[in-house]
A and B are shown apart, each in its own frame.
Chain A
Amino acid sequence: MNDEYLWQKTGEDPETRRLEDALAVFRYREDDPPAVPIATKPPRTRRWRFALAFAVPAFAAAAVAAVIWFPITPPSDEVTFIYYPEPEIREQPVAAPAPVTRPSEPAKQPVRRGEVQPTVASLRHRAVTRLHPQRTGTVALTEEERYAYHQLMLALSISSSKLNIVRNTINGVEQTDNDTKQNDR
């Protein structure tokens, strides 16, 4: 083997020349891509993975927004107390509900029989309000807070009623006196 022909391509070396001719089919050509004997499949683009990559964060964001907008009430002793600005109490009463009792004490049967009873209209109003609570008027109260508030409102309502009776009676007496004086004249 002639090294000069092998490395420098000078001179003659028939053996090397023969090998060159045999391997000429694999010679690099600038224009044509090399022929690859192994058949290859075109790569598949997995589009569903892109869709999933967007869908998962979108669903998570929607879930977080839903939890923030509709807060989940924890399963504790807390109850949601709806605040009613003007309850209706002057209509025909329905069946008497169970009286509100202090949670730690046993129920006292004969007491509060004359308590204000809810009417059909007020119960309906409460049901509607519970179904569609207004964020401005809804306050979460514990059972004891609810009881205390109910007792206070009951006491104040009766006190207010009695004061109004006193005022109306006094006004009525004064009116009668004035009428009597005018008739005498």
Chain B
Amino acid sequence: MRQARIYLLALFIALPVVAANAQDARLRLDHLDGLEAHARDVVEVNIDGKLLDLAKRVTLKVNDENAKKVGAAISGLKGIYVRVYRFAQDNEYSVGDVDAIRSQLNSPGWEKLADVRSKKNNQKIDVYTMFTGDLMSGVAVVISDSKSIAVVNMIGPIDLEMLAELGGKLSIPDMDIDIDVEHKSKDQKPKDDKE
């Protein structure tokens, strides 16, 4: 009886910790809202909760194999938050806005997966993942250069390889929003788009 009480107590302590850990994968992006006034192009997508559940059901409803692959890849997903800001001129945004996001990724739980720094266009790429046990509980991608900021924050497990491969299929358009044509021609080979 006493052992059962101890187990129950441990369970009550552990559950909020696990829940809090899962919630930590969500980044605070509110401070980026002020950039909307200065940016030339803005993309803001928040999809979670019932809206995400509805979208998942639609992927299964659509009679297509690739749609079902997407549905399987995002079955455990709890939310996707996307911010893309593209500016007409260089350095129209404050570096502190992006650093505030990167500082959140330095908190415990996040693990750095990729870190690329290039002096050309002052490009910085950060990819972080968060795991709860063996299960991925979050992904964060922060890409910034002199003219654009892009932040992708996904909560919950997701197959990143499959997501990358599905670009351009289904209704997922294969687009590169933050790469200017002139930058692309200088920095990247044309084949890179489809690879």
Q: Which of B43, B56, B168, B177 contacts A86 (CB 8 A)?
A: B168
A83 x B64 contact (CB < 8 A): yes
- Judge whether B44 is part of the interface by a CB distance below 8 angstroms: yes
Interface size of B in residues (CB-CB distance below 8 Å): 62
Give the residues in chain B near A172, CB-CB below 8 Å. Answer: 187-189, 192
B36 x A110 contact (CB < 8 A): yes
- Judge whether A16 is part of the interface by a CB distance below 8 angstroms: no
* Least distance between B60 CB and chain A CB atoms (Å): 11
Give the residues in chain A near B42, CB-CB below 8 Å. Answer: 110-114
- Judge whether B176 is part of the interface by a CB distance below 8 angstroms: yes
Give the residues in chain B near A90, CB-CB below 8 Å. Answer: 174
A163 x B141 contact (CB < 8 A): yes
- Judge whether B154 is part of the interface by a CB distance below 8 angstroms: yes
Give the residues in chain B near A112, CB-CB below 8 Å. Answer: 42-44
Q: Which of B84, B143, B168 contacts A114 (CB 8 A)?
A: B84
Q: Which of A85, A111, A156, A169 contacts B70 (CB 8 A)?
A: A156
Q: Which residue of A lies closest to B154 (CB)?
A: A159
Give the residues in chain B near A150, CB-CB below 8 Å. Answer: 171
Give the residues in chain B near A170, CB-CB below 8 Å. Answer: 114, 116
Give the residues in chain B near A169, CB-CB below 8 Å. Answer: 116, 118, 123, 125
Describe A's contact surface by its main secondary structure.
Answer: helix
Q: Which residue of A lies closest to B169 (CB)?
A: A86
Contacting chain A: which of B10-18, B102-110, B158-166? B158-166
- Judge whether A127 is part of the interface by a CB distance below 8 angstroms: no
* Least distance between A176 CB and chain B CB atoms (Å): 11
- Judge whether B182 is part of the interface by a CB distance below 8 angstroms: no
- B59-89 vs A: 1/0 string, CB under 8 Å? 1011110110010001000001010101000
A149 x B179 contact (CB < 8 A): no
* Least distance between B180 CB and chain A CB atoms (Å): 13
B54 x A160 contact (CB < 8 A): no
Whole-angstrom distance between the alpha carbons of A161 and B123 in the complex?
16
Contacts A136-B63, A139-B62, A165-B125 known; A144 to B164 CB distance under 8 Å?
no
Whole-angstrom distance between the alpha carbons of A141 and B80 in the complex?
22
Q: Which of A110, A154, A162, A168 contacts B188 (CB 8 A)?
A: A168
A positions within 8 Å CB-CB of B: 83-87, 89-90, 110-116, 136-137, 139, 141, 144-145, 147-173
Contacts beyond the supplied A152-B56, A162-B141: 13 A-B pairs with Cβ under 8 Å: A83-B171, A86-B168, A114-B177, A148-B58, A149-B54, A149-B58, A152-B58, A155-B80, A158-B175, A158-B177, A163-B160, A166-B114, A166-B141
